[in-house]
């Protein structure tokens, strides 16, 4: 879901910003692409700070907790569990794209194991839990 949120921004990057946003159709297109992206990220940030959940986790009524059952810190959820692993995957992708794809697939497929944790959960010492 987070990757889909980059679609409007990618559209602006690919098509390019108008030299001047004086034409009404250019302004409409620009705001039509950017507004959902901004709303998505504001809602995601709010949910992460207040409830330690993303939009998908909020919808499914699950949350990230520490493996010992205590509440996970915002730093642990955002930086250790999400930003660092994905930054590493992106950096590796500059060298070999297929390695990045393999890393993402392995991370997602590990949730089907006995403990149902992704590699990111092991790195951050977290797990998913049903919301009470």
Which pLDDT belongs to residue 6?
Answer: 55
Task: Please check whether residue 8 lies inside any domain of the structure.
Answer: yes
98-120 burial, b if ≥16 CB within 10 A, otherwise e? eebeebeeebeebeeeeeebbeb
54-79 burial, b if ≥16 CB within 10 A, otherwise e? bbebbeeeebbbeeeeeebeeebbbe
Q: Clarify whether residues 102 and 120 are in a common domain.
A: yes
Q: Clarify whether residues 36 and 95 are in a common domain.
A: no
**pLDDT beyond 60 at 14:** no
Task: Please check whether residue 56 lies inside any domain of the structure.
Answer: no
Q: Which residue has the higher pLDDT, 72 or 27?
A: 72
Q: Clarify whether residues 66 and 108 are in a common domain.
A: yes
Which pLDDT belongs to residue 84?
Answer: 83
Q: Clarify whether residues 119 and 71 are in a common domain.
A: yes
**pLDDT beyond 60 at 8:** no
Q: Clarify whether residues 104 and 46 are in a common domain.
A: no
Average pLDDT over residues 25-46: 79
Give the number of domains in the chain: 2
Domain that holds residue 1: 1-51
Average pLDDT over residues 14-41: 68
Indicate the DSSP class of residue 38.
H
**Planar angle of CA 75, 79, 84, nearest 5 degrees:** 155
Which pLDDT belongs to residue 83?
Answer: 82
Q: Clarify whether residues 114 and 69 are in a common domain.
A: yes
**pLDDT beyond 70 at 22:** no
CA 53 remoteness from chain centre: 11
């Amino acid at each position: 879901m987070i990757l889909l949120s980059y679609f409007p921004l990618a559209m602006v990057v690919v098509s390019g910003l108008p030299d001047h946003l004086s034409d009404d159709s250019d302004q409409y297109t620009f705001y039509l692409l950017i507004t959902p992206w901004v709303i998505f990220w504001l809602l995601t940030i709010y949910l992460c700070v207040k409830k330690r959940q993303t939009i998908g986790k909020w919808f499914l009524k699950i949350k990230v907790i520490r493996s010992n059952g205590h509440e996970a810190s915002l730093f642990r959820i955002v930086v250790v569990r999400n930003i660092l692993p994905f930054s590493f995957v992106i950096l590796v992708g500059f060298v070999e794209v297929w390695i990045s794809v393999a890393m993402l697939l392995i991370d997602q497929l590990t949730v089907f194991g006995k403990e149902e944790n992704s590699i990111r959960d092991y790195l951050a010492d977290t797990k998913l839990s049903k919301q009470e």
